[in-house]
Amino acid sequence: MERLKVSVYDTTLRDGCQAEGISFTVEDKLRIARRLDRMGIDYVEGGWPNETNPRDQEVFARARDEDWQHARFAAFGSTRRPGIVPEDDTQLGFLVDSGAPVITIFGKSWDLHVTDVLGTTIEENLQMIEDSMAFLKESGAEVIFDAEHFFDGYRADPEFAMECLEAAQRGGAEALVLCDTNGGSLPLFIREVTAEAVERFDVPIGIHCHNDAGLAVANTLLSVEAGATQVQGTINGYGERTGNANLCTVIPNLELKMNAQALPEGGLERLTELSRWVDEVALVEHNERAPYVGAGSFAHKGGMHVNAVLKTPTSFEHVEPETVGNERRILVSDYSGGSTIVHKLRHVYPEVDRKDPRMRDVLAEVKEREHRGYQYEAAEASFELLARRVFGDYPELFELQGFRVIMGKHSEDEDPFAEATVQLALKLPDGTQSVHTASMGDGPVHALDSALRKALVDHYPEITEMHLVDYKVRVLDATEGTGGAVRVLIQTRNNGETWGTVGVHENIIEASWQALTDSFVYGIVNARQE
């Protein structure tokens, strides 16, 4: 069966910027636009260039000099204001002056907005749509009409909503996009109305859904099923209020479930990387539970699940993770079974199998420790060291002889200081050597980390390349107040490899010490095995 071609219109740089906590600089926007272009996105909406938005004016000025390989760069705006001609509307002039090869404008298609928000008549609104489209069409740009609040407008007055689309088509619109701007419509209604529009109009129909009812992706897919051939959305679902249709979910569903082509060959395999990269640029924590591109999308925890997926991946995976550039993860927890433990330790002990009695000992130790508050899902380095202890293979690099951490403050106006001292017995090939070091730090954990590094660096220079990249603390029993146990999770990076370690104790410094020492031991052993 021939694949349906669906054009992808990305509005991360405009609609996505309307999300709380999202703000892109000019350089950010251009970097993301270039990445989307290389990905094979058909349209990249750069923003709304007008007299009140100098940032987007600069974006479009610089975009004119870009060598776009695939994407068509789009400017966004609205129809003219009531009571004037398009030639006198300054924001339409800015759209033309932007030099964008594509101009998308929105117009009202809900009579409530026409009368109560714009304060004009139905007839004037239809004229605003038609002559704005015609004016922009004369500039030589490809013009697209976004019918704002279309589905709410259709519910209120179906014929008026359709008349708005007819006005845009008369004005020269090359695509009519149906917008669920309030994000409250249901999928079957979206499909029914889209099918009517597809049958009624000659130009392609597009869909633009917000996610206020959690249905933006479903509504987008049902619209395509009804005949829409353009999908609008944002990377990672950024957008006003609860966001827009998430293209990182829409695209793989189109390609893998609906026999549609949304990206050029090879594009889908780079989707996870793109999703994470855009979050990095936006300074947003990646949603690890996101469909397809989250680290949890193909993570397996339950023992029976793990046993099945290692034998037959399709038993618990709806697609192969590699198709979207993701990977399978087997998690270690108190839900784990023997298959999980064997899988996680194969890279250390290739010959181990489930019948090895040490497997039961490792599993029992994991379950007992997780009962006390340890968590190994994000601390696989600590899990490996735990297993090495059970196997009698733990690397004895040093033994603690004592540490002390001092926090102080000389006056209310001064910043507090932290000092740590560490005494270790280093286990060296030629015998044991005692070292005693001290260091200042921005806080107690930083001071402890610095003192530990001082003690180890002469004999284990590998640690100079190890950098702590994340430190998280969670109180495990809030009912105990400040005396409750805490769990510390640390992420450490060395030359692109990242590993996690964990510590648990009623004393946050002791919990941090456990995670820190696991981190250094694992990093040193790993570096010396390469």
Query: CATH classification of 4-255, choosing from 1.10.287.130, 1.10.3720.10, 3.30.428.10, 3.20.20.70?
Result: 3.20.20.70
Mean pLDDT of 504-520: 93
What is the per-residue pLDDT for 334? 46
pLDDT at residue 245 tops 80 = yes
Average pLDDT, the chain: 89
Between 298 and 119, the more confident residue is: 119
pLDDT at residue 475 tops 70 = yes
pLDDT at residue 107 tops 90 = yes
Long-range contacts of residues 60-66, Cβ cutoff 8 Å, at least 24 apart: 60/98, 60/99, 60/100, 61/99, 62/26, 62/30, 63/30, 63/33, 63/99, 63/100, 64/99, 66/30, 66/33, 66/34
pLDDT at residue 481 tops 60 = no
d(CA 487, CA 508): 8
What is the per-residue pLDDT for 386? 86
What is the per-residue pLDDT for 158? 97
Mean pLDDT of 514-522: 94
What is the per-residue pLDDT for 63? 93
DSSP H/E element including 205: strand 205-209
Confidence class of residue 317 from pLDDT cuts 50, 70 and 90? low
Tokens 């004369």, residue? 138
d(CA 161, CA 109): 5
Determine what percent of the chain is predicted with pLDDT higher than 90.
Answer: 63
pLDDT in tens, 26-35: 988 998 999 9
pTM: 0.69
pLDDT in tens, 427-474: 998 899 999 999 999 899 999 999 999 999 999 999 999 998 888 888
d(CA 496, CA 202): 52
Mean pLDDT of 284-291: 87
What is the per-residue pLDDT for 300? 66
pLDDT at residue 305 tops 70 = no
On whether the CB atoms of residues 443 and 414 are closer than 8 A, the answer is: no
Sequence-ordered list of residues with C-beta below 8 angstroms from that of 323, at least 6 positions apart, any chain: 252, 256, 268, 269
On whether the CB atoms of residues 255 and 261 are closer than 8 A, the answer is: yes
pLDDT in tens, 344-375: 667 667 777 777 778 778 778 877 887 788 87
Q: Which two tokens stand for residue 239?
A: 């957008």
Burial of 119 (0-12, 13-18, 19+ CB in 10 A): exposed
Mean pLDDT of 120-144: 96
d(CA 277, CA 273): 6
d(CA 172, CA 95): 16
pLDDT in tens, 274-287: 998 898 888 888 88
What is the per-residue pLDDT for 326? 81
What is the per-residue pLDDT for 133? 97
Sequence-ordered list of residues with C-beta below 8 angstroms from that of 113, at least 6 positions apart, any chain: 148, 149, 153
Mean pLDDT of 155-184: 97
Domain range annotation of the chain: 4-255, 398-459
Confidence class of residue 342 from pLDDT cuts 50, 70 and 90? low
pLDDT in tens, 5-25: 999 999 999 999 999 989 888
pLDDT in tens, 170-199: 999 999 999 999 999 999 999 999 999 999
What is the per-residue pLDDT for 284? 84
Query: CATH classification of 398-459, choosing from 3.80.10, 3.30.160, 3.30.70, 3.90.320?
Result: 3.30.160
pLDDT at residue 123 tops 70 = yes
